Amino acid sequence: MNQKIFLIGIAGGSGSGKTTFAKKVMKGISSLDSWMLHMDSYYLPKQPITNYTASGKPNFDHPNAFDWDLLRNHLSELKQGLTIKCPIYDFSNSSRTKEYEEIGPCRVVLFEGIFALYDQEIRDMLDIKCFLHVDSDIRFTRRLHRDVKERGRSLESVISQYYDTVRPMYQKYLDPQRQYADFAVGEETDVASLILSARIKEMLNESSRMQAHEAM
């Protein structure tokens, strides 16, 4: 009998600390049998013209910026215990590279991204759904440091993008995802990550016991 695969969704605005939180959860479950899947990897190779702003720039904070078909397929395959070829996105030139990362098979997938709880089909696959609710000033500061230091962006471009798309898209599309979350997490994530880690370990143990019982 195949083992049950658990998908954990972690949503939140840009700079809310989704990746950091997911890493804390992975550390908490102390399991090599887990992977982290970043929604940022599933940006479309080329943004559609219809997704450009009035100033002529692509809107990377809109739901239409992502390759939903590929993302749904990959999450479904991971749920089935298969291996996927996750695309690798180059943020310095806003394009998908020809390389990929093999992910899976594994027992736990931590799926993090700004729209991790947006799509109903994906929500239905998730075993736990959480939302990181962090003050906008903190999110903006984190994003500013990250994009300049890690993604080769200029200070001016980050500020312009924040007011042009990031803030309005958060209010329109991202924040409403909280209604779908099983729980929300604030800025301090240490305790929350330990609680989530404990719950994941419980689910793994319950699944193993059930599988052993059915095999008898």
Say how many C-beta atoms besides its own lie within 10 A of residue 35's C-beta: 20
Query: Which tens digits make up the pLDDT trace of 12-57?
Result: 998 899 999 999 999 999 866 899 999 999 999 999 999 998 888 8
Give the Cα separation of 111 and 177 in Å (integer).
15
Amino acid at position 170, single letter: Y
Predicted TM-score (pTM) of this structure: 0.89
Query: Which tens digits make up the pLDDT trace of 80-115?
Result: 999 999 999 998 888 899 999 999 999 999 999 999
CATH top class, domain 6-208 = alpha beta
Give the Cα separation of 85 and 91 in Å (integer).
19
Q: Where are the domains of the chain?
A: 6-208
H helices present in 47-119, as ranges: 68-79
Give the Cα separation of 167 and 18 in Å (integer).
17
Give the Cα separation of 19 and 22 in Å (integer).
5
Record the tokens describing residue 23, joined without a space.
């890493």
